Structure 1
Amino acid sequence: MSPHALPCRGWGQVWCRLWCRLWRRRADLPLLLEAAAGLGLAWAAMRLVPFGRLAAWLHPRVRRRASPPPAAAEVARVAWAVTVAARLVPWPAVCIHQGIVAQRLLARRGIPAELYYGVRSAPGTGDIPADILAHVWVRAGGLDVVGHEVAGDYVTLASFPSRP
């Protein structure tokens, strides 16, 4: 069935376009749902679990595979799913949520990834002191996954690699 034949009349142009884009990537819809569910769990965990306990969860075990996967294609699929899911979920899915989910999805697919936590200072204004801004990004085997757009502006404080 072509995306133009989808029954989206009356839905509004934005929803129709979204549905057509998702329909073209329908093979990736289970991954998108997995990413959305993971974002919900990450959001809840960040609110309910102290960071000290959560940090231990940031070293997921990588599933072993008999043959190496096509890493670049799989990394791109995971990056797409996490980025799109973050825009679609009704709660705020910021960089730390996206990073946690991307790292875990890659680990489930046998691809080791490293989550980086960095900071930078933002200049203050007048009597307001400078702020410290934090950011999370993920890299897998030299490939950028999520959060890499502004990673160069941050100094790495900690990194959380996947465990073999």
Structure 2
Amino acid sequence: MLSKMKRFITLPSEEKKLFFEAYVMLGIMRAALLTVSFKRLTRSLEHSPKQEKITVLSKEENAKAIAVGQAITRAAAYTPWESACLAQSLTAQKMLQKRGIPGVFYLGAAKDEENKEKMKAHAWTQCGETILTGGKGHEAYTVLSVFGWEKA
């Protein structure tokens, strides 16, 4: 734990700010998922049941998007609450939209290999060609819905 704190202290101030913003936003999104309907949470987004076209990002936008994704992934590992893929995707959407970076998040489903009668769900966020959150194993899921946002 001490080595992680030392590493954190040596991070550039911008990365520390992103980490704290992601940490707080993950808490807000977790609380929102427990208390607000999903439809209400996503009403400001463009909804499509199919794949969205990928928006090309500038180098600067892509670098910012990657930094946001890394901050969310890092912060999610340290929250005392569950910060699963959906909370991470909603957090990414809010943080990226705040920075004027367009993107999409996907909701997918797949059969549970352990119990064939059950389904499992997953959410992941993408900006340009880069998957920022939830990328690990997303290929196993069939996309059910896509939620996109443009530059603010």
Q: TM-score range by the shorter chain?
A: 0.7 to 0.9
Q: Which amino acid in the other structure matches residue 49 of structure 1?
A: V
Alignment correspondent of 2:8: 22
How much identity, in percent, do the aligned residues show? 29
1:71 positional shift: 2.3
Return the offset for 1:69: 6.2
Aligned to 1:109: 99
Compare the two structures and name the one with the higher helix fraction: 1
Distance 1:157 1:26, change over 3 A: same
- Say if 1:58 and 1:23 are closer, same or farther in 2 by CA, change over 3 A: farther
Counterpart in 1 of 2:49? none
Name the CA shift for 1:58/1:41 in 2 (closer, same or farther; >3 Å): farther
User: Within the alignment, does 1:162 sit opposite 2:152 as a pair?
Assistant: no
TM-score by length of 2: 0.84
1:88 paired residue number:
78
In the alignment, does 2:31 pair up with 1:31? no
Alignment RMSD, CA only? 1.7
Which residue of the partner structure matches residue 73 of structure 1?
63
For structure 2, the residue ranges without an aligned partner over 5 or more in a row are 47-57
Q: Which amino acid aligns with 1:78?
A: V
Relative contact order: is structure 1 or structure 2 higher (C-alpha 8 Å, sep ≥ 6)?
A: 2
How far did residue 26 of structure 1 move? Answer: 3.4
Tell me the equivalent position of 1:149: 136
Separation in structure 2 between the aligned mates of residue 20 and residue 72 of structure 1, nearest angstrom: 28
CA contact (8 A) 1:58 1:100 kept: no
The Cα shift of 1:20 comes to 1.8
Distance 1:87 1:124, change over 3 A: closer
Distance in 2 between residues matched to 1:101 and 1:50, nearest whole Å: 16
Change (3 A) 1:56 1:73: same
Q: Hey, what's the Cα distance between the residues in 2 that align with 1:146 and 1:154?
A: 15
Establish whether residue 47 from structure 1 lines up as the match of residue 47 from structure 2.
no
CA distance in 2, matches of 1:44, 1:134: 19
Distance between the aligned counterparts of 1:97 and 1:149, measured in 2? 16
User: Does the 8 A contact of 1:115 with 1:138 survive in 2?
Assistant: yes
The answer for the alignment partner of 1:10 in structure 2 is: none
Shift in Å, 1:23: 1.7
The higher radius of gyration belongs to 1
